[in-house]
Amino acid sequence: VQAGFMPVVALGFSVAPVAGQNFGAGHAQRVKDTFRGAAMMAAGVMFLFAILCHIAPGALISVFSNDREAVAVGEEYLRIVSWNYVASGLIFVASSMFQAMGNTIPSLVTSGVRIAIVAIPSIMLSRMQGFQLHWIWYLSVGAVLVQLTLSMLLLRREFGRRLQFQPLSG
């Protein structure tokens, strides 16, 4: 799964300095354009990876194991968590934008919210009779969607606050 995220990781590493340079130069529209372009690329790549995980999860898992039970669990895992992939790509780009504008607190907050949404219910669910592992995977999907929503709201707020540059007097 991590290999499928590598293009978005590389994109995120390039977004922060490009947007950061434009932020430092006072080019608000370029900062926004950097986000839009990177978000579209990340969503596209992650959409393709998600489709692959839905179409051929067994082929992806069988590289690591030939055990039928392990492959069956892996297939179910990929089919469920791949619903996170587009959102995860967008979250990664948003995190890079927060870094570019010099405020990483929103990324920390949204990550903390996601972890809490998964961890606290997972602990409670794991103590229930009949606990199923896939319950946690569904929690993850919901948590990532909440994180995406919060990230986009906070990014919009940061754009409004930080991209109001005063014209240079000359």
Buried-exposed string 8-22: b where 16+ CB fall within 10 A, e elsewhere: beebbeebbebbbeb
| Cβ-contact 117, 37 below 8 angstroms | no
Of the pLDDT bands very low, low, confident and very high (cuts 50, 70, 90), residue 111 is very high
What pLDDT score does 166 carry? 74
| pLDDT value at 23 more than 60 | yes
Of the pLDDT bands very low, low, confident and very high (cuts 50, 70, 90), residue 22 is very high
Round to whole Å and give the CA distance between 115 and 42.
22
| Cβ-contact 54, 79 below 8 angstroms | yes
SS3 168: coil
Spatial neighbors of 4 by CB under 8 A, at least 6 apart, are: 46, 49, 52, 53, 85
| pLDDT value at 165 more than 90 | no
Mean per-residue pLDDT for 40-49?
A: 98
Mean per-residue pLDDT for 116-145?
A: 97
Provide the percentage of residues in the chain whose pLDDT is more than 90. 94
Residue 79, token pair as written in the block: 């089919």
